[in-house]
Amino acid sequence: MVSRTGPRRSESVRLAVLNAADDLLVEQGFAGTTIEGIATRAGVAKQTIYRWWKSKVDILLDALAEDAREALAWREPAGTPAEDLVTHLHRVAGFFEEPAGQVLRALLGHAQLDKDAAASLRAGFLREQRERDLEGLRGIVRRHTGSDPEEATLVRLADLLLGPLHYRVLVLGEQADTAVLDTSARLVLELAARQDP
């Protein structure tokens, strides 16, 4: 059946394409991942892929969004605010070691050279994840201080929380250091408490 926006995507075909793109990127890197390779691995025709995605970047962006929706979600409270914050940071660090994290690294690298890819990454996944991070951190700070932080303060706290982790992983190419994650969480909560009137 055809809708006004074009043929409907089969969910199983969509997932096959996204999984194939993930797998190929991990195996062959960004340059070695092609539409042809994705189509072959997914068992679909190239025309099927081009009907729904313009490029391999678009496929990888969809794959990243699909994987991160659950992997980078903020969980319901399970301990103290400090414990929950540290747990979340460790989950983010773990994400970078998974195939989806490798997709994110590849897209961030490619975005440095391709302004359209950078715009798509920022307008889609990065914006959505930023919103999730701000909302999740807001809940932690509210539990810790008893009140909501001002929006500008929340933004700065999110930068301070995630910046060291992203620097270690994305700039230095190292695994996250447990002591750095624990210290980042502690300092963010201390600063949040100072902002509380």
Give pLDDT tens digits for 83-122.
999 999 999 999 999 999 999 999 999 999 999 999 999 9
Q: What is the residue extent of each domain of the chain?
A: 2-53, 62-195
Beta carbons of 59 and 115 less than 8 angstroms apart: no
Positive or negative, the Cα torsion across 151, 157, 162, 168? positive
Q: What is the pLDDT of residue 168?
A: 94
Q: What is the pLDDT of residue 5?
A: 43
pLDDT value at 29 more than 70: yes
Give residue 34's pLDDT band: very low, low, confident or very high (50, 70, 90). very high
Q: Which of 115, 147, 126 is nearest to 64 (CA)?
A: 126
Q: What is the DSSP string of 121-188?
A: HIIIIIHHHHHHHHHHHHHHHHHHHSSPPPHHHHHHHHHHHHHHHHIIIIIS--PPPHHHHHHHHHHH
pLDDT value at 9 more than 80: no
Region 62-195: CATH code: 1.10.357.10
pLDDT value at 3 more than 60: no
* Assigned superfamily of 2-53: Homeodomain-like (1.10.10.60)
Same fold, 2-53 and 62-195: no
